[in-house]
Every structure is written in structure tokens, then in C-alpha cells.
Amino acid sequence: MENGGTRIILLGRDLELRIISLIVRARELSQEVIFFDLGSNDMSVELAEEFNCKVFHYGRELGCKDISKYILDQNLDLELNNLVLRVTDDWKLSDFPVIENRVRESWDIYIAFTKEESKDIDDAEQIIIDSIEFSHMVLSKSGLEELSKTSPLSNAIDFSQDLKVRVTPTQKSIRLPQRESLATASRFAQLFYWMLETRHPLLLFGIPGIVLFVLGYKLSGNVIDTFSELNTTSIGVTLTTIAMTLVGLFAMMVALILYIMGKQVEQIQSQYDWSSK
């Protein structure tokens, strides 16, 4: 395999929620990142282009041969080794460590497939290449040219003996049980997130806070003047008015904090022109 750099090609559609994180992670492992769009209906293409990622609208079949021919037809730098990553709904960002190992290995053709064509892994070389539903591929310049010339019935043993070739089932990364985050475990955290998304926190918390604070402050003076002796009733009423005042003060503080945080979020979104999208 050539000792050039690495190009990671992201292949998928409707990746709006993950496209930026995928590009950032891929750039840590490669010299170039390209997005092959399969016909997205969301903002995947626009977000990729805003992040200075080349976008190609792929409209051919998803076979290994068709993809290799498409790469050769785009006048890309063939000195870079290609890692084609097919991003599906089941693919997770935590699978990148496995992909990183493929980048560092010297393969001319490495194809990891997700559809089991044979129950016996030893028979993987007999699988027809053009029928493979691959998860990711590593292709050097020689591997691209060799794969693009395969016939519809070619398998792994038909490749040149001078190339380093492997066809294998996808090796999933080990997933350890994770603790539930506070954002999903805590009802208060969910409520706080909802409050942060509210456009008018001053109306939701500011006005009730002002009303409670003013009423509590006014009532506290009358309570002190009305009750001349300490008993259960006077202490209870006094504590109630104090609690009302403190709750009103807390509500006003929450309203101001949420309003300021909301403005900060809007400022960040305006930098990426998210409001229009």
C-alpha cells in the first residue's frame, strides 16, 4: 500500500445532527474529508459546505465497484489512501476507534461488510464483492484501480497477488454500559433545559416573581404590626410571607439568568446563521 496520507469519505444521507461531529473527528485522523451525499432532505449538505468539507452528490449504486469507479472519476488526489465510511442510523461515533485502526494499517483493499454472506468467516474470500453491503472500505491507489475493474462475479481471491487484500465481517467496538446522564435522569435538568429553550423567560418567571416579591414584602410589614404575641398562627403566617418574598426573589433571578443565557445562545446561533435554517 502507498505511504501517502489518508482521505476519509463519509457516505450517507440526512446526517444533519451528526455531520459536524463526524467531520471534526475524521479530520483528526486524515488529511482530507469528503462527504458523498446520497440525497439528503435536511441541512446535511449545507452544514458540510459551511464547514469547508467537499460535497459530492452520489447517485450511483452502493456497490464496492461503483464507488471505486466514482472516486476515480472525480479527479481527486490518488496519492491519498481512501477510507470510505458508510454512515447509517446504526453507526455510532464511538465506532471511530475501530476505523482508526483501519487507517493505520497498510491495506490495499480492506472491505468490512455488514451483511453475512456466509456463516463461516473462513469462507469470506468466496463472497461476491459486488453483492457486499459494506460498512467501511480502505482503498489505496492500486486498490481503487483493481476494484474498479472487477466483474459482477468477482470475489476476494480474484484480486492480484501483489495486493494486500482482506474481506471480513464488521468488527464492532466493545460497548460498556454507560451511566445515565443528568440531562436525561434528572427531571429538574429536563425542566431547566425546557426553560432555556423558552423565548420569553421574563414573562414566565419575571412577572410572577415580581408579584410574589411585592406581595410578600407588603404583607411582611402588616404581619409584624398585626400580631403582638408569638403563637402558632403568627409564626406560620410570618414564615409564609417570608417564603413568598424569597420565592419571588428567586423567580426574578431565574428569569434574568435564563434571559441572559438565551441571548448568548442566540448570538452563537447567529454566527452560524442557524436562525434562518
The answer to the question of residue 174 being in a domain is: no
Per the structure, the count of domains in the chain is 2
Whether 106 and 238 share a structural domain = no
The answer to the question of residue 190 being in a domain is: yes
Whether 249 and 195 share a structural domain = yes
In degrees and rounded to multiples of 5, residue 23 shows phi and psi of -65, -45
The pTM assigned to this predicted structure is 0.59
- Using alpha carbons, list the distances in angstroms from residue 28 to 24, 73, 89, 97: 7, 26, 22, 12
CB-based contact 11:67 (threshold 8 Å):
yes
What does the alpha-carbon distance between residue 36 and residue 189 come to, in Å, rounded to a whole number?
38
CB-based contact 79:32 (threshold 8 Å):
no
Say what the pLDDT of residue 35 is: 96
Say what the pLDDT of residue 190 is: 63
Whether 164 and 214 share a structural domain = no
Say what the pLDDT of residue 84 is: 93
Whether 39 and 127 share a structural domain = yes
In degrees and rounded to multiples of 5, residue 241 shows phi and psi of -65, -40
Final residue of a structural domain among 113, 140, 169: 169
Range(s) of the domain holding residue 73: 6-169
Whether 15 and 152 share a structural domain = yes
Query: Following DSSP, what letter does each residue of 56-106 receive, concatenated?
Result: EE--S--SHHHHHHHHHHTT--TTSEEEEEE--TT--GGGHHHHHHHHHS-
Say what the pLDDT of residue 48 is: 92
Q: In 3D, which of 216, 193, 212, 195 has the Cα closest to residue 204?
A: 195
What does the alpha-carbon distance between residue 193 and residue 132 come to, in Å, rounded to a whole number?
44
Nine-digit cell string for 42: 435536511
Say what the pLDDT of residue 195 is: 58
Whether 210 and 266 share a structural domain = yes
Say what the pLDDT of residue 34 is: 95
What string of pLDDT tens digits covers the 277 residues of the chain?
Answer: 555 688 999 999 999 888 998 999 888 888 999 999 999 998 999 999 998 999 999 988 888 999 999 999 998 888 888 999 999 888 888 777 777 777 778 888 998 887 554 444 455 556 788 778 888 899 998 999 999 888 878 877 788 888 888 888 876 555 555 555 554 556 666 666 655 565 566 666 777 788 888 887 777 666 655 555 556 666 776 777 778 888 888 888 887 887 777 777 777 766 665 545 4
Whether 18 and 123 share a structural domain = yes
Whether 199 and 139 share a structural domain = no
Say what the pLDDT of residue 231 is: 61
Say what the pLDDT of residue 174 is: 54
Whether 125 and 201 share a structural domain = no
Nine-digit cell string for 47: 452544514
